[in-house]
Amino acid sequence: MESRVPRTARIALNRPLRRLFDYLIPEGMQVTRGQRVQIPFGRQQLTGLVVETDVEPPEGITLKTINHALEDWQALPPETFELLSWASTYYQHPLGECLFTALPPALRRGRPAREKEEESWVAQSSGSELPANAYRQKALLQWLSQQPAPASTGAIIKAGFTSAQVNGLTGKGLIERAKQDSNPAAAPLSPDLRPTLTPAQQHAASQLPAGREGFDATLLYGITGSGKTEIYLHYLKEHLTDTGQALVLVPEINLTPQTVARFRHYFGDRIVVWHSALNDGERLNTWLKVRRGQPVILIGTRSAVLLPFTGLETIIVDEEHDSSYKQGEGFRYSGRDLAVYRAHLNKCPIIMGSATPSLESYHNARQGKYRLVRLEERAKKAVPPTLSLLDIRSRPLEGGLSRPALNAIRDTLDRGEQALVFVNRRGYAPVMMCFDCGHMVECPRCDTRLTYHRRDRAMRCHHCDYQAAATSHCPKCQSEAFKPVGQGTERTEDTLAEAFPSVPVVRVDRDSTQRKGSIQAILEKVNSGAPCVLVGTQMLAKGHDFPNVTLVVVVNADGGLFSVDFRAPEQLIQTLLQVSGRAGRGNKVGKVLIQTCHSDHPLLKSLCTENYLSIADQLMAEREQGQFPPFRHMAIFRAESDTMQNSLELLDAIKPSASGPGIEIWGPLPALIARRADRHRAQLVLLSSQRGRLNAVLAGICQHLDQQKLPPKVKWMVDVDPMEIG
């Protein structure tokens, strides 16, 4: 018999620390990797996650003992754990924070892993029986009666009411608890109402992996309107077993409620959703469903890839090129790339679809790492829209729109159809300028100009939260020749409203869609099909299916043509093709007019004559020439502090340890927007063709920086596979 050695556990905490903590396991307690435990830490009680057991603790320290395990099962099952610990090494982010990102907020805080019954409420009266001075209660009743579904207590509080008001109304019987599961339980559509695949779709579908045969990655290049969603639905119908789980990643759910509705038509209540608008209770409940292995088809944004699936059979990543898959702060992972690794760990197929695949994925396809499946016909009768360039160098513009563009909009409306106008900036104008002294109004806290927002008479910084009241004269010389310069969505909206007074002009941007449900209301209006003009930002480019939009006008395509960011041309082409793809999706032919001052630019010219993959081939050749990603791997160290000197010094200090064979270094240099919210930002870019070497160098530097005592207010971070440089 062996003598009893006290058992130990190595534990990760939800802290930005690149280290773990050893504890004794009380006698008789069973713990394994991935389990939640409660531990004494200083004078606090913290929730930790077990990383390993029975490893030799460092010598000479007295270990404290775990208090108790929070449950007798692993909050992070083995495959999820492995995914996260791989990600921690790959993205150089502390393991503890990576692991805790995968827990719902309630479980991070040590709450029990039990379903939370979220109460939801419905109005029972219009409130006429309330005393005249009970305006808040009346307002709540009115708000409730306008909600499409029962509202949870959390949602009510988010909308600005209090639980006291809820209690008051319950006491008077004016509102009632709704039955549980307020998800509008869409019954699946009867099979004969579901579309059958077109011959082109069938051909594409036949090239997809048969499932259950191990890891297999496919890039589905399907032009806009080719019906990629239909392919996903059929694929799941055919290959997902009754007990299996599936993950469908999408960029932003709230923008495309139609997609979720289509999945519900096929799979009814098997569909669950995961996105940033869920409250803590909803998050916990959905997380538990997944953890219990219920056979869900989970449609979710980026972080859904971290959910604790145990029976995953298929992964789908829709619009795989979308930059929202990359987390921009903290644990800077790519949801798409983790999805590929997850499929690999789990030995299951993954399908990544896009009309404009990222050069990274396309590179993998060209190298034979991914299957490439092409779907180059639209699902409905219409052919892809025709694109043409409209040179605006010598044309007078009204609200950014040229005469031919306005005429084309008029013709479209006259035919009873809809037009969409794309402007890449929200607000009224990107800058206010004095025509006497030349002064342009800048943000006092950033190296940027303030955007003029006419609707609420404000000048706002789009890079920090600074805002000031708009003035009618120059703040510097008091001249009244103080005018907006350039185009924003509000300004174009005004021009359109004036030019077409008899049709609705609907603006879609972050400002107009802030209120919950407003985007849904807008989409419903557009889908009714009546003539209207939509004007908006990127938001309009994302996955929408507006059958009656037959004209798209791009106000100015020149933004990305001369940028220093090596990704700018790729992103420009993707945005232009995605927004163009909103035209002619029904049974009528669509037309796209792209206004530009550079109509002879080769990139814009090829946009009108070639398909995306051949443009991608050209862009790829340029990337190869410059040895940019995907031909080399990139990582960026960023530093920020209250002076530029401190930021540059920090990066200068790490530069020698970054240097070495096989690594190219740029910088340190001030960032493109060097000062943001009064923080001075600099960066050091590392490039290498060997992922392993780059990773080892990054790890060494991170470890070193962790042990340094940095001057106060100096912060650093590392971004692996950055989406933005500058």
Binders of ligand ADP: how many residues, by CB under 6 A?
A: 16
Q: Is 35 in the site for ligand ADP (CB under 6 A)?
A: no
Q: Is 479 in the site for Zn ion (CB under 5 A)?
A: yes
Distance (Å, whole) CA 493 – CA 717: 40
Give CA separation, 570 vs 358, 389, 392, 419, 607, in Å: 8, 18, 23, 25, 11
Could you tell me the strand order of the sheet in which 8-13 lies?
21-24, 8-13, 44-53, 35-41, 68-74
Q: Are 314 and 217 in contact (CB under 8 A)?
A: no
Q: Are 626 and 690 in contact (CB under 8 A)?
A: no
Of the candidate residues 34, 227, 430, 484, the single one contacting ligand ADP (CB under 6 A): 227
Q: Is 222 in the site for ligand ADP (CB under 6 A)?
A: yes
Closest CB 233 distance from ligand ADP, rounded Å: 9
Give CA separation, 39 vs 6, 290, 484, in Å: 17, 27, 59
Distance (Å, whole) CA 263 – CA 316: 13
Closest CB 222 distance from ligand ADP, rounded Å: 5
Burial (CB count within 10 angstroms: exposed 0-12, middle 13-18, buried 19+), residue 263 = buried
Whether the link from the prior residue into 630 is cis, omega within 30° of 0, is yes
Which of positions 561-600 make contact with ligand ADP (CB under 6 A)? 585
Of the candidate residues 127, 225, 281, 349, the single one contacting ligand ADP (CB under 6 A): 225
* Amino acid identity for residue 307 in this structure: L
In Å, how far from its chain's centre is CA 426? 19
474 binding partner (options ligand ADP, Zn ion, none; Cβ < 5 to 8 Å by kind)? Zn ion
Of the candidate residues 50, 155, 197, 373, the single one contacting ligand ADP (CB under 6 A): 197
Per-position x/- string for 103-142, each x denoting binding to Zn ion as judged by CB under 5 A, each - no binding: ----------------------------------------
Query: Could you tell me which stretch among 225-233, 455-463, 477-485, 588-596 binds ligand ADP (CB under 6 A)?
Result: 225-233
Residue 382, CB-side half-sphere exposure with 13 Å CA sphere: 23
**Tokens, residue 673:** 């927007």
Q: Is 450 in the site for Zn ion (CB under 5 A)?
A: no
Q: Is 441 in the site for Zn ion (CB under 5 A)?
A: no
Per-residue DSSP letter, 16: S
**Residue 519: in which H helix or E strand, if any?**
helix 518-527
Distance (Å, whole) CA 166 – CA 658: 59
Closest CB 511 distance from Zn ion, rounded Å: 17
589 binding partner (options ligand ADP, Zn ion, none; Cβ < 5 to 8 Å by kind)? none
Of the candidate residues 8, 101, 152, 224, the single one contacting ligand ADP (CB under 6 A): 224
Q: Is 73 in the site for Zn ion (CB under 5 A)?
A: no
Distance (Å, whole) CA 115 – CA 283: 10
Q: Which of 638, 637, 639, 627 is nearest to 690 (CA)?
A: 627
Closest CB 224 distance from ligand ADP, rounded Å: 5
Residue with tokens 């921009």: 328
Instruction: For residue 46, count other CB atoms closer than 10 A to its CB.
Output: 17
Per-position x/- string for 524-563, each x denoting binding to ligand ADP as judged by CB under 6 A, each - no binding: ---------------------x------------------
Closest CB 195 distance from ligand ADP, rounded Å: 3
CB-nearer residue toward Zn ion: 20 or 443: 443
CB-nearer residue toward ligand ADP: 182 or 198: 198
CB-nearer residue toward ligand ADP: 211 or 384: 384
Query: Could you tell me which stretch among 69-77, 298-306, 351-359, 471-479 binds Zn ion (CB under 5 A)?
Result: 471-479
Please, what is the Cα angle at 367 between 362 and 370, to 5 degrees? 60
Q: Is 229 in the site for ligand ADP (CB under 6 A)?
A: yes
Per-position x/- string for 364-403, each x denoting binding to ligand ADP as judged by CB under 6 A, each - no binding: ---------------xx-----------------------
Which residues lie near Zn ion (CB under 5 A)? 434, 436-437, 439, 443, 445-446, 461, 463-464, 466, 474, 476-477, 479
